[in-house]
């Protein structure tokens, strides 16, 4: 019996290399867990029918000496990542029967490395949400406490790992969707620098904010998976050529704490207490902690909720009942559009399309969209200035602990506020990671660390130092 609960990528690789078990045995162990738990947890919306065929290919790679760190590793794909000839639906009815005609850049890269894609995971519809409650395919439960949400939008992704149905997962993060669910399930989640990982073949939400990233059990595994997808892709116009990326340099071992940003309403005192303890632990690990004043950071969330819906309204215009997926024919062409979109999209998606269309409409464009663009660049500058003095900036990952189903879904603004600490990294394009920081009454908490552009190495170094102390 493989001890999946404690199995890391590193350990599985060593085991498979030395022949303790084969990729097929490992894949079967995960399939067995999925069979037992998925009916309740609903992490996967589909288990791929070719899991064992992929494991066979991995086995051949071990046999012929071409295996790498990710070969034979069971991984889940979020339902917004295209895999050639398989369905990808963004957990929306409108794409329920859509079959991808090509593979995403990251899918091709990982296929080359010989991973075993287990299946596609449930998510908030088109990645809009923080609890996976907006999926057209039902809620995903938090494996740590099935009365609680797993976070979102990558709720299925984190639950696939937390229930041991995969060793790691890929999620996407537009305003926190990797980091927040990772914190809610005691996992590590990284949003890489904008442009570090290919977005080619990822169903877009907000194109200037979206990034794909790894979810894993510890920081080392997160780094291994990041290294496997951290590459230039000529098919993605925003992919940054490797030679243009900032190279690692020694750390100052100095971390900034934006104290005034932690004073907002709605931040659970338990979260603040845990954060203070995390600060003490980092000091004990030899880091100097300094207060940094970042007065613009609090505008990141309002800016996000202007820019993101604007980009959503434009990106989702393509689902018109003609080009992709579901179609409900009406009398005239316009009726086909209206019927298809009215019936195919869920409520939250329609809310954001309407909001975005309003924001971009003549007469309001300057007041909303253009103002938000200006504040976005001011936030970026403010962060870049702060990083001249400190290696990283830390906050809690989320203002609350994992919550019960239905607790926030009736009040969208309370749901939106969950991303208060997470949106700045997407707005500025810098990398950020969530690392488990302990628990309260059995529910997990996370520490959020932000670093300058292309300095994921800083996040891994601090993350590993911190992990040892929790």
Q: Measured at CB, which residue is nearest to ligand GLN? A: 177
Asked about 177 being catalytic, the answer comes back as yes
SS3 assignment, position 395: strand
The pair of three-digit structure tokens given for residue 189, joined into one six-digit string: 């989640």
The least CB distance from residue 114 to ligand GLN, in Å, is 29
User: How near is the Cβ of 421 to ligand GLN at its closest, in Å?
Assistant: 12
Peptide bond into 153 cis (omega under 30): yes
Please confirm, yes or no, whether 153 is among the known catalytic residues. Answer: yes
- Both tokens of 239, joined, read 């992919």
The catalytically annotated residue of 37, 76, 78, 154 is: 78
Q: Which is nearer to ligand GLN, 7 or 222 (CB)?
A: 222
- How far is Cα 249 from Cα 232, in angstroms, rounded to an integer? 21
Structure tokens at 33: 């867990």
Contact yes or no for 78/171 (Cβ under 8 A): yes
Give whichever of 256 and 356 is closer to ligand GLN, judged by the CB atom. 356
Interstrand relation of 188-191 and 211-216 (parallel, antiparallel or unpaired): antiparallel
Cα–Cα distance measured from residue 336 to residue 339, given in angstroms and rounded to the nearest whole number: 5
d(CA 126, CA 95): 10
The nearest distance, CB 433 to ligand GLN, in angstroms, is 15
Cβ atoms of residues 327 and 335 within 8 Å: no
Minimum CB distance to ligand GLN smaller for 125 or for 164: 125
Q: How far is the CB of 88 from ligand GLN (least distance, A)?
A: 15
Half-sphere exposure of 413 (CA within 13 A, CB side): 2
Are 143 and 173 spatial neighbours (Cβ–Cβ below 8 Å)?
no
From the list 154, 177, 198, 437, the catalytic residue is 177
For 7-166, list the strands marked E by DSSP.
Answer: 44-47, 74-78, 116-121
Which of 92, 103, 153, 239 is catalytic? The answer is 153
CB of 65 to ligand GLN, least distance (A): 40
| Residue 190 main-chain phi, psi, to 5 deg | -120, 130
For every residue of 239-279, DSSP letters joined together read PPPGGGSPPP-----EEEE-GGGGG-TT--HHHHHHHHHHH
- State the minimum distance, in angstroms, from the CB of residue 240 to ligand GLN: 20
SS3 of 414-440: the string is: HHHHHHCCCHHHHHHCCCEEEEEEEEE
Is the CB of 340 or the CB of 400 nearer to ligand GLN?
400
Closer residue to ligand GLN (CB): 133 or 391: 133
Q: How many helices (H) and strands (E) does the chain have?
A: 15, 11
Q: Which of 394, 424, 378 is nearest to 292 (CA)?
A: 394
By beta-carbon proximity to ligand GLN, the closer residue of 30 and 128 is 128
Q: What's the min distance (Å) between Cβ of 47 and ligand GLN?
A: 23
Judged by CB, which is closer to ligand GLN: 27, or 427?
427
Maximum pairwise Cα distance, the chain: 70
Q: Which helix (H) or strand (E) holds 354?
A: helix 347-359
Q: Which residues bind ligand GLN (CB under 6 A)?
A: 127-130, 153, 173-177, 205, 308, 419
| 393 Ramachandran zone, left/alpha/beta (phi>0; psi -120 to 50) | beta
Tokens of 320: 């018109």
Nearer of residues 129 and 424 to ligand GLN, judged by Cβ:
129
Using DSSP, state whether 408 is helix, strand or coil. coil
In the complex, what is the shortest distance from the CB of residue 172 to ligand GLN, in angstroms, rounded to a whole number? 6
Q: Which positions are catalytic?
A: 78, 153, 177
């Amino acid at each position: 019996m493989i001890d999946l609960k404690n199995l890391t990528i590193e350990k599985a690789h060593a085991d498979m290399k030395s022949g303790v078990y084969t990729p097929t045995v490992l894949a079967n162990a995960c399939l067995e867990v999925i069979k037992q738990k998925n009916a309740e947890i609903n992490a996967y919306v589909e288990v791929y029918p070719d899991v064992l065929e992929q494991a066979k290919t991995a086995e051949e790679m071990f046999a012929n000496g071409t295996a790498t760190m990710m070969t034979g590793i069971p991984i889940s794909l979020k339902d917004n990542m295209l895999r050639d000839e398989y369905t990808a639906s963004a957990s929306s009815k409108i794409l329920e029967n859509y079959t991808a005609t090509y593979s995403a850049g990251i899918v091709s890269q990982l296929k080359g490395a010989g991973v075993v894609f287990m299946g596609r995971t449930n998510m908030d519809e088109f990645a809009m949400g923080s609890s996976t409650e907006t999926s057209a395919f039902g809620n995903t439960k938090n494996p740590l406490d099935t009365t609680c949400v797993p976070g979102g939008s990558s709720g299925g992704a984190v639950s696939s790992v937390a229930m041991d149905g995969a060793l790691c997962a890929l999620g996407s993060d537009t305003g926190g969707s990797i980091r927040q669910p990772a914190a809610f399930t005691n996992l590590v989640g990284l949003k890489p620098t904008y442009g570090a990982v290919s977005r080619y073949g990822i169903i877009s939400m907000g194109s200037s904010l979206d990034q794909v990233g790894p979810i894993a059990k510890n920081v080392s595994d997160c780094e291994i998976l990041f290294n496997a997808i951290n590459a230039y892709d000529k098919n993605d116009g925003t992919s940054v050529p490797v030679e243009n990326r900032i190279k690692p340099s020694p750390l100052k071992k100095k971390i900034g704490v934006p104290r005034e940003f932690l004073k907002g309403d709605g931040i659970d005192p338990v979260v603040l207490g845990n954060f203070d303890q995390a600060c003490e632990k980092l000091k004990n690990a030899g880091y100097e902690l300094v207060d940094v004043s970042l007065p613009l950071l609090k505008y990141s969330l309002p800016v996000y909720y202007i820019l993101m819906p604007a980009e959503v309204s434009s990106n989702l215009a393509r689902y018109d009942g003609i080009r992709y997926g579901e179609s409900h024919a009406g009398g005239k062409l316009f009726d086909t559009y209206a019927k298809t979109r009215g019936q195919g999209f869920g409520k939250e998606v329609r809310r954001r399309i309407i909001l975005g269309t309003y924001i971009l409409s003549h007469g309001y464009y300057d007041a909303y969209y253009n103002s938000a663009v200006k504040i976005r660049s001011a936030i970026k500058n403010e962060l870049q200035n702060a990083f001249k003095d400190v290696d990283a900036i830390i906050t809690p990952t989320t203002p609350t602990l994992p919550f019960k189903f239905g607790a926030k879904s009736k009040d969208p603004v309370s749901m939106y506020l969950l991303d208060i600490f997470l949106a700045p990294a997407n707005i500025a394009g810098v990398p950020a990671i969530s690392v488990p920081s302990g628990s309260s009454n059995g529910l997990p908490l996370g520490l959020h660390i932000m670093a300058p552009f292309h300095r994921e190495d800083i996040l891994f170094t601090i993350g590993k130092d911190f992990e040892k102390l929790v």
